[in-house]
Amino acid sequence: MENLLIRPDAVDFSVIPDVPKGTCVAPLKRPSHLGEDWLEPQQRVYTAEEHGIWDDLFAQQMAVLPGRAASSFMAGLERLDLGRGGVPDFGSLSEELRPITGWSVVPVPMLIPDHVFFYHLANRRFPAGNFIRTRAQFDYISEPDVFHDVFGHVPMLTDPVYADYMQEYGRAGWKALAYNRLKALSALYWYTVEFGLIREADGIKAYGAGILSGPLEAKFSVEGQSPNRIHLEVDRVMRTDYVISDMQPTYFVIGSFEELFRKTVERNFDDLYRGLNPGFTYSNQAVLGGDKVYHLGTQDYANRGGQGSGALPA
Ligand SMILES: [Fe+2]
């Protein structure tokens, strides 16, 4: 570990990275019809009922997102016309997206291993779940489906700086694999790409897909009294634990996508990873001395036990 130094110019991002021996990645079993890149040969064909689920989810989100979602997200949604009716076709979506930022959307069957995910992001391909939730899973689904992935993530890929950040995130995966610090890098993803907030001229807005693709968290994260809202520092976030299946006790706020991009690209991850523990240092409710705090949360929701207790997100 001492002598390990990863030079980005020495890395070939066009091939799937190796997983070094002893590095923990999710133990996912690749379906037998897929190649190493985990891509489905084509997007699945949806039933009328499934297209209807997309339309109803879309309508539900549009009732809460205006005024709470980042302006880049709302602009992307409109630009890609994601409300044209039914589950979007990835091929036409990619044709519209490619001239804007060079990204495309590719179908995958389920969650894919981290190193394969990094490989696609580093090459400006966004892997999107092929399937759509059922009515019984309408408001929450633990695996990312096509609504979460396409509605939640793809509009942001029309923002040129955000699009570059996503590619940099994928490239950063090579180093996290080499140092066996995937958990730290995934915390950065979690607190930006999934649950990130941004300061705009008329207030704090959400740009994270985990927030934007569900019915409750847009209000909770942006306006709720319970969660902390703290300015994002890369090192601090990479040391912070997070919740997977409930609303976050803390959200991190960026000033702009330029700032996020700069703070990530300029950080020397070799130094950072050498000083990091394998586990997290800070709890997800912690407020630290150096934090720039926009809102000090009551933590009422988390302290009452979150959704398991039936606590209302407030
Ligand atoms: Fe996601």
Q: Model-level pTM greater than 0.75?
A: yes
Question: What does the pLDDT read at residue 26?
Answer: 76
Question: What does the pLDDT read at residue 3?
Answer: 55
Question: What does the pLDDT read at residue 105?
Answer: 98
Give the tens place of pLDDT for each residue, 296-313.
Answer: 999 999 999 888 787 778
> 8 CA distance to ligand 1 centroid (A)?
26
Spatial separation of the C-alpha atoms in residues 23 and 64, rounded to whole Å: 41
DSSP per-residue codes, 90-139: HHHHHHHHHHHHS-EEEEESS---HHHHHHHHHTTEEEEES----GGGTT
> 144 CA distance to ligand 1 centroid (A)?
6
Place of tokens 């040969």: 41
Give the tens place of pLDDT for each residue, 54-102.
Answer: 999 999 999 999 999 999 999 999 999 999 999 999 999 999 999 999 9
> 128 CA distance to ligand 1 centroid (A)?
9
> 4 CA distance to ligand 1 centroid (A)?
31
> 244 CA distance to ligand 1 centroid (A)?
11
> 276 CA distance to ligand 1 centroid (A)?
25
Separation in Å, CA 72 to CA 94, 158, 256: 18, 8, 11
CATH topology of domain 48-307: Phenylalanine Hydroxylase (1.10.800)
- The ranges assigned to domains in the chain are 48-307
Residues with CB under 5 A from ligand 1 (ion): 144, 209
Question: What does the pLDDT read at residue 245?
Answer: 84
> 245 CA distance to ligand 1 centroid (A)?
13
**What residue type is 190 in one-letter code?**
W
Positions in the chain short of pLDDT 70: 1-4
Question: What does the pLDDT read at residue 7?
Answer: 76
